[in-house]
Amino acid sequence: MSDLILVIDEGTTSTRAMLFAPDGKCLATEAAELTQHYPEAGRVEHDAAEIWDKTLAVSRTVVERAGGADKIAAIGITNQRETVVFWDRGTGEPLAPAIVWQDRRTAAICRDLKEAGNEPAVQAKTGLLLDPYFSGSKIGWAMRNWPQLREAGDRLAIGTIESWLIWKLTGGLHITDATNASRTALMAIGSGHWDDGLIELFGAPGAALPEIVDCAGSFGVTTLFGAPIAICGIAGDQQSATIGQSCLAPGETKATFGTGAFVLTQAGATPPVSRNRLLSTIAWQLGGRRAYALEGSVFVAGSLIQWLRDALALIGTAQETEALARSVPDNGGVYCVPALSGLGAPWWEADARGAISGLSFSTGRAHIVRAALESMAHQAHDLKTAFAADGVDWKLLRIDGGMVANDWMAQDLADMLDVSVERPKFAETTALGAAMLAGVGSGLFRDLNEAAVMRGAVETFEPAIPDERRDARLAGWRHAVASVIESA
C-alpha cells in the first residue's frame, strides 16, 4: 500500500498540488497562478472554472511525478476561506463569478444589520462579527442581484472553495468541512450545524448549502487520475496552517503571513469568547468533536508587497524588499497603514482606506518599502494586544507563509512583539496541515499528535532591540492608524 499524500492547496493568488511522504518531506510541487478580477472598486472575483481547470492540471502533473494514482494513499485539501462559488448541480458549471474573501461589496448590508442590533446574536452563534469578509452576506447579495441563481431553483449549489473542488473531483458530492463552514456566518459553532435563523438573516438558500463533515475521514473518491484515490483531509487554510505548525495544545499560537495575515491560538474544546473584537472559530473537527481557536484576521499582508510591485513598480520582486529594508537605518518617519481592503481585527473598519504618511524630501524608495514590511509587525502587535486583553497573551509565536522567508521581517516580528518567533525550515505549513489531516483520515496516523512528526526542524528569532525604540515605533503606528480610522 502506498503512503504518499497528495495535497491540493488552493489559495487566493495561486493553486498548487504537493506530494508528501509520511515524514513530512515534500517530494514534488506544481503551481499555477490564478487571475483575480476587480470589476468595481471594492469588488474581488475569481473564475471558478479557472480554479478547477488549473487545480486539475497541477494535480495531474504531481500524480504523474508520483508514478501514478496507485502510489497515492489519500488526498488532502486546503483552501482560501470565505470565498463563495455558485454552480449548477446538473451541468457542474459555475453560474456566476466566485466572490472572494477580500470583496467588500456587502459593507452597507453588514452596516445596516449591525445598526439594527444583530451583531451580538450573530457573534454569540458564530463567533464572528458582521463584516463583508464572511460568506453569509456575500451569498445573500448574490441571491438578490444575480437572477440566474434564483432561476436555477433546486439545481443551485453553493459552497466555499473546497466544496467546489470536492464536487468536481467526485462528480457530485456536496460537502464542506466544519472549519470552512464556521467562516460563513451561517453555522452555529457550538452545535456544528447550519442555523436557520442565520440563513434567514442573510437571505441564503439553505437547500443549496453542503453537508457539514469532519476534517479527517473518508469523503468520497476521485477517479480522475487513473485509479481511485480517497479524499481524507479537508480544512480551511488558516486552520490547516495551525495544524501544520502543531499548535495542538491550548495556548499554542501561529501567524501566517500570506495574502493576508492570520493569527490563531488553540483554545481547546470550549468556544472562546472575545471582548476585544477577535473571532472564535473551529480549529478542527474529528469524530464529530470540535476544537476551537481564537483568531485575529488582517486583510492585507503579502498582497501589499504585490501591490508595491505591480501597481506602483517600487520593486521588481518580493525578494528585493529584505535588502531595501536593511539599506536604511529606520523608516525615516514613514508609516504604511495597508487598509487596501479595509482594516481587519481588532478594528473592523470596512470603509477604511490605506495610507502612507510621514513623507518628506528625504524619503526614498527604501523607506516606503521598509514601512510596508514594518506594518506586518505593527498589525501583529495590535492583535497581540487584543489577544492579551482576552486573556491569551502569546509566549511564543510560530510563523509561516510566503512573507516570512524574509529574515529581516522575521526578526522585526520578534523585536516588535517582544517574544520568541519560531519559523519551521519547511514553511509551507498550510499544505502540511492538510497532509496531516489526510494521514489521519486514511489511517497512516492514529491522531494529529502522531502526525506532528511531519513538521520537522525549526529556527528561532529572539527580540533584540531596546524598549524605547519599540515604544517609539508603536507610537508612530498608533497615530497613523488613528488618522486612517478618523477618515473612514
Number of residues in the chain: 488
Q: Nearest Cα to 139, choosing from 192, 187, 209, 89?
A: 209
Specify the pLDDT at position 486.
83
Give pLDDT tens digits for 209-251.
999 999 999 999 999 999 999 999 999 999 999 999 999 988 8
- Number of Cβ within 10 Å of residue 464's Cβ equals 8
By three-state DSSP, how is residue 245 classified? coil
Give pLDDT tens digits for 3-61.
899 999 999 889 999 999 999 999 999 999 998 899 988 899 999 999 999 999 999 99
* Grid cell 493576508 in the structure block, residue: 260
Angle, CA of 196, 198 and 204, to the nearest 5°: 85
Specify the pLDDT at position 258.
84
Specify the pLDDT at position 487.
78
Amino acid (1-letter code) at residue 247 = C
Give pLDDT tens digits for 51-78.
999 999 999 999 999 999 999 999 999 9
Q: Which domains does the chain have, with CATH numbers?
A: 4-237 (3.30.420.40)
Instruction: Note whether 70 and 182 are within 8 A (CB).
Output: no
State the average pLDDT over residues 279-285: 93
Judge whether residue 1 has pLDDT over 80.
no
State the average pLDDT over residues 396-403: 91
By three-state DSSP, how is residue 38 classified? coil
pLDDT band with cut points at 50, 70 and 90 for residue 457: confident
Phi and psi for 39 in degrees, rounded to 5?
A: -65, -30
Give pLDDT tens digits for 405-455.
899 999 999 999 999 999 998 888 999 999 999 999 999 999 999 998 898
Give the H or E element holding residue 372: helix 365-389
Provide the 8-state DSSP code for 412.
H
State the average pLDDT over residues 160-167: 97
* Residues sharing a CB contact under 8 Å with residue 48, sequence separation 6 or more, in sequence order: 85, 87, 94, 97, 98, 164
pTM for the full predicted model: 0.86
What mean pLDDT, rounded, does the chain reach?
93
Specify the pLDDT at position 488.
63
Prior bond of 346 cis (ω within 30°): yes
The four Cα atoms 261, 267, 271, 277 give a dihedral, to 10 degrees, of: -40
Give pLDDT tens digits for 318-370.
999 999 999 999 999 999 999 987 888 888 887 889 999 999 999 999 999 99
